[in-house]
A and B are shown apart, each in its own frame.
Chain A
Amino acid sequence: MAVKTQPVTVNLGPQHPSTHGVFRMRVMFDGEEIVDVEPVFGYLHRGTEKLAEERTYSQIITLTDRMDYVSSMLNNQSYVLAVEKLAGIEPMPRGVWLRMIASELQRVASHLVATGFLLQDLGALGTPLIYCMRERERILDLFEMLCGARITNSYMRPGGVFMDAPKEFWPALDRELDDIVNTIDELEAYLSGNEIVFSRTKGAAVLPPELLINASITGPMLRASGVDWDLRHRDPYDYYDKVDFNRVLHSASDNYARYWVRVQEMRESVKIVRQCIEQIEPGPVRPSFDDVPRLIRPPVGDVYSAIEGSKGELGFYLVSDGSIAPYRMHARASSLINLTLLREMLIGEQFGDLFVIFGSVDLNMGEVDR
Chain B
Amino acid sequence: MTTAWNGQALAEAIEAFAPGTVISSSATDVWVEPSAISNVCEGLKTRSEFKFDLLSSVTAVDYIDHFEVVYHLTSLPYAATAVLKAKVGQGRTEASVPSVVPIWRGADYQEREVWDLMGIRFDGHPNHKRIMLWEGFPGHPLRKDYVTYDQSIQAPNDEDDE
Question: Does B57 contact A235, Cβ atoms closer than 8 Å?
Answer: no
- In chain A, positions 310-341 with a C-beta closer than 8 Å to chain B are 313, 315, 317, 319, 327-328, 330, 332, 336-337, 339-341
B residues in contact with A42, CB < 8 Å: 131-134
Whether, in the assembled complex, B36 has its beta carbon less than 8 Å from a beta carbon of chain A, the answer is: no
- Output the nearest chain A residue to B141 by Cβ-Cβ distance: A50
Asked if B105 is at the interface of the complex by the 8 Å CB criterion, the answer is yes
A235 and B110 within 8 A (CB): no
B interface footprint on A225-256 (CB within 8 Å = 1, 0 otherwise): 00101000011100000000000000000000
Contact A215–B131 (Cβ < 8 Å): no
Contact B76 A227 (CB under 8 A): yes
Instruction: Say whether A304 contacts B72, CB under 8 Å.
Output: yes
Contacting pair B57 A341 (CB below 8 A): no
Instruction: Kindly identify which residue among B72, B79, B107 contacts A234, using a CB–CB cutoff of 8 Å.
Output: B79
Q: CA–CA, A369 to B131, complex, Å?
A: 9
Task: Tell me if B33 counts as interface (CB < 8 A to partner A).
Answer: no
Q: Are B105 and A216 in contact (CB under 8 A)?
A: yes
Q: B108 near A340 (CB under 8 angstroms)? A: yes
A216 touches B59 (CB 8 A): no
Q: Which residue of B lies closest to A316 (CB)?
A: B57
Asked if A47 CB lies within 8 Å of chain B CBs, one says yes
Q: Are B61 and A235 in contact (CB under 8 A)?
A: no
The verdict on A213 contacting chain B, using a C-beta distance below 8 Å, is yes
Smallest CB separation, A101 vs chain B (Å): 23
Within 336-351 of A, Cβ neighbours of B (below 8 Å) are at 336-337, 339-341
Which of the residues B72, B108, B133 comes within 8 Å of A315, measured between beta carbons? Answer: B72
Contact at B57–A45, with CB atoms within 8 Å? no
Residue A306 lies at the interface, judged by CB distance under 8 Å to chain B: yes
- Kindly list chain A residues whose C-beta atoms are within 8 Å of the C-beta of B70: 302, 317
Chain B residues bordering chain A, tally (CB within 8 A): 31
Q: Is the CB of A5 closer than 8 A to any CB of chain B? A: no
Closest to A301 in B: B28
> Cβ of B110: which chain A residues have Cβ within 8 Å of it?
216, 336-337
How far, in whole Å, are A341 and B148 apart by their CA atoms in the complex? 34
The verdict on B56 contacting chain A, using a C-beta distance below 8 Å, is yes
A306 to B59, CA, bound (A): 14
Q: In chain A between 236 and 290, which residues have their CB closer than 8 angstroms to a CB of chain B?
A: 236
Q: Which residues of A contact B61 (CB under 8 A)?
A: 302, 319, 327-328
Of chain A, the residue at the smallest CB distance from B110 is A337
For B55, what are the chain A residues with a Cβ–Cβ distance below 8 Å?
216
User: B142: which of A50, A304, A313, A336 is its contact (CB, 8 Å)?
Assistant: A50
Interface size on A, as a range, is 35 or more
Task: Contact check, A234 vs B132: say whether CB atoms are below 8 A apart.
Answer: no
Contact A45 B56 (CB under 8 A): no
Contact of A340 among B79, B109, B113 (CB under 8 A): B109
In the bound complex, CA of A47 to CA of B141 (Å): 8
Bound complex: CA A306 to CA B56 (Å): 9
Give Cα A227 to B148, complex, Å: 44
A169 in the interface (beta carbon within 8 A): no
Within 2-55 of B, Cβ neighbours of A (below 8 Å) are at 2, 53-55
Q: State whether the Cβ of B117 lies closer than 8 Å to any Cβ in chain A.
A: yes
How far apart are the CA atoms of A41 and B55 in the complex, in Å?
21
Write out the residue numbers on chain A whose beta carbons fall within 8 Å of the beta carbon of B108.
Answer: 215, 340
Shortest C-beta distance, A364 to chain B (Å), equals 15
Given contacts A50-B141, A313-B56, whether A234 and B105 have CB atoms under 8 Å apart is no
Question: Considering the chains assembled together, what is the distance between the CA atoms of A314 and B117 in angstroms?
Answer: 20
Q: Which residues of A contact B105 (CB under 8 A)?
A: 211, 214-216, 340-341
Q: Which residues of A are found within 8 Å of B54, using beta-carbon distances? A: 213, 216, 218
Q: How far is the CA of A229 from the CA of B83 in the complex (A)?
A: 20
Q: When the two chains form the complex, which single residue of B1, B56, B106, B134 contacts A214, counting CB atoms closer than 8 Å?
A: B106
Is there an interface contact between B2 and A235, defined as CB atoms closer than 8 Å?
Answer: yes
Q: Contact: A304 with B131, CB < 8 Å? A: no
Give B84 Cβ to nearest chain A Cβ, in Å.
Answer: 12
- Closest residue of A by beta carbon distance from B131: A41
Complex Cα distance, B133 from A234, in Å, reads: 36
The one of B2, B104, B133 in contact with A45, judged by C-beta atoms closer than 8 angstroms, is B133
Minimal beta-carbon separation of A78 from chain B (angstroms)? 12
Beyond A234-B79, A313-B56, 9 additional pairs, beta carbon < 8 A? A42-B132, A50-B117, A213-B53, A215-B105, A216-B56, A235-B79, A317-B59, A328-B142, A341-B105
> Which 8 pairs, one residue from A and one from B, show the smallest C-beta to C-beta distance?
A216-B106, A215-B105, A330-B59, A235-B2, A42-B132, A332-B57, A45-B132, A328-B61
Please give the residue numbers on chain A whose beta carbons come within 8 Å of chain B beta carbons, in ascending order. 41-42, 45, 47, 49-50, 211, 213-218, 227, 229, 234-236, 302, 304, 306, 313, 315, 317, 319, 327-328, 330, 332, 336-337, 339-341, 369-370
B interface residues, Cβ below 8 angstroms from A: 1-2, 53-57, 59, 61-62, 70, 72, 76, 79, 83, 104-110, 113, 117, 131-134, 141-142, 148
